[in-house]
């Protein structure tokens, strides 16, 4: 990745870190810092889960403004769940200053660190969360039905909350997952794992309403951001994505209202991808907008795939997911594959009202290469510059 991106990102990060404090503000009588080391947490190889839970319990019960702090240093941790609700319907502010490392080995839990049933939660602090996942990746050979390894950071039933200014790396499976959440702001994250780490999505969203993900750098072995079933009103902006599989929407329940804008996608296996499985039950995906996206050496830059079947053991029935009202605007850059625009829709539920406006996708191979487009079972409208030429 060009050094100028990292320089800009970390300059912003340092400014935020230097302007924040764990101390109570003057005049705040009902505030308290709950440092995990005061509850028995120690730096080194010891499992600190019980100390972390004790600090959380005290902070959650505190009748005032509570700050849960992980100070500088490296702390080992087995799976923990920070539960709510907390006092007066609010939640402690979580400041991770140091490094959290997962203990080696597998776990029966589908999460490593989980926040559940909380309101007005803030998680940040500029620290690092290391999933130590390398030993798990070979076991993540997962198609539609399977059990993945642990998600590093899971939010379940969390609302009116913020996740910001953290580094996550080498998760066993997904790095962050939002499930049953509402009104979430996510920004200033750096998420990284090797390109060959299977199913290590940067951020996965499901059954969530009103989430904004912005100003972050994500490169993993799977999707940078995946938007799953039952999600509504999702906005993704100013993301640098790659390596990985791009930004993906996958549907099994209705998904309405997705905006992806002002992003750069580089060296990924897919760019902007909408996928459904053969035999998927009846549902719909509508109101999807992708605009002002820069592609750098990306395979399948624009791809609607309603025959997604990586294991070749799928239903012979077509997908019944109805995809409509999808707009691709001002998408430019270079494609690693000759087919740069591929609209492969279902014979049972053809795509409708698909709009492509000002598409400029040249072949990254150079020479005599010329990009093409392909359309199947789709009603689409083309306007402005079209490179490759429209397929309808």
Which stretches of 200-338 are assigned E, i.e. beta strand?
203-206, 209-219, 225-227, 232-241, 247-250, 255-266, 272-275, 283-298, 302-305, 321-335
Token pair 């625009």 is at which residue? Answer: 341
Phi and psi angles of residue 6, each rounded to the nearest 5 degrees, phi first: -65, -40
Please report the DSSP string for 7-27 in residue order: HHHHHHHHHHHHH--SSPPTT
Nearest residue to 140 (alpha-carbon basis) of 183, 196, 91, 198: 198
Computed on alpha carbons and rounded to an integer, the radius of gyration of the chain in Å comes to 22
What letters, b where the CB count within 10 A reaches 16 and e where it falls short, cover 357-371?
A: bbbbbbbbeeeeeeb
Q: For the beta carbon of residue 208, count every other beta carbon within 10 angstroms.
A: 25
Of the CA atoms within 13 Å of residue 306, those in its CB half-sphere come to 28
Whether the CB-CB separation of 357 and 384 falls below 8 Å is answered with yes
Helix/strand/coil for 354: strand
Nearest residue to 237 (alpha-carbon basis) of 260, 257, 268: 260
Beta bridge partners of 333: 295, 361
Residues designated as active site: 222, 245
Question: Which stretches of the chain are DSSP H helices?
Answer: 3-19, 49-61
- Cα pseudo-dihedral 110, 112, 115, 116, rounded to 10: 20
């Amino acid at each position: 990745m060009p050094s100028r991106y990292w320089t800009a990102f970390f300059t912003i990060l340092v400014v935020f870190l230097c302007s924040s404090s764990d101390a109570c503000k003057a005049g705040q009588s009902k505030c308290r810092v709950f440092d995990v080391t005061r509850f028995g947490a120690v730096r080194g190889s010891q499992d600190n889960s019980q100390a972390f839970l004790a600090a959380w319990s005290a902070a959650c019960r505190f009748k005032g403004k509570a700050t849960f702090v992980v100070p500088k240093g490296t702390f080992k941790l087995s799976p923990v769940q920070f539960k709510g609700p907390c006092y007066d319907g609010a939640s402690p502010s979580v400041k991770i200053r140091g490094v959290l490392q997962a203990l080696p080995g597998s776990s029966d839990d589908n999460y490593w660190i989980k926040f559940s049933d909380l309101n007005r939660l803030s998680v940040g602090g500029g620290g690092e969360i290391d999933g130590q996942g390398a030993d798990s990746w070979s076991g993540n050979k997962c198609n539609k039905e399977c059990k993945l390894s642990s998600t590093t950071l899971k939010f379940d039933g969390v609302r009116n909350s913020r996740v910001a200014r953290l580094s996550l790396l080498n998760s066993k499976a997904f790095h962050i997952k939002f499930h049953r959440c509402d009104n979430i702001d996510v920004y200033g994250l750096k998420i990284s794992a090797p390109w060959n780490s299977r199913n290590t999505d940067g951020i996965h969203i499901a059954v969530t309403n009103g989430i904004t993900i912005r100003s972050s750098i994500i490169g993993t072995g799977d999707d940078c951001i995946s938007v799953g079933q039952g999600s509504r009103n999702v906005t993704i902006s100013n993301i640098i994505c790659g390596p990985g599989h791009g930004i993906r929407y996958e549907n099994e329940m209705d998904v309405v209202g997705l905006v992806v804008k002002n992003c750069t996608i580089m060296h990924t296996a897919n760019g902007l991808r909408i996928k459904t499985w053969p035999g998927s039950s009846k549902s719909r995906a509508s109101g999807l907008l992708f605009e002002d996206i820069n592609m750098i050496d990306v395979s399948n830059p624009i791809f609607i795939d309603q025959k997604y079947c990586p294991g070749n053991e799928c239903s012979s029935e077509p997908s019944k997911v109805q995809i409509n009202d999808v707009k691709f605007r001002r998408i430019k850059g270079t494609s690693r594959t000759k087919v740069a625009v591929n609209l492969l829709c279902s014979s049972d539920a053809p795509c409708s009202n698909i709009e492509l406006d000002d598409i400029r996708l040249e072949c990254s191979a150079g020479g005599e290469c010329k990009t093409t487009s392909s359309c199947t079972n789709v009603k689409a409208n083309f306007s402005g510059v079209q490179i490759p030429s429209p397929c309808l």
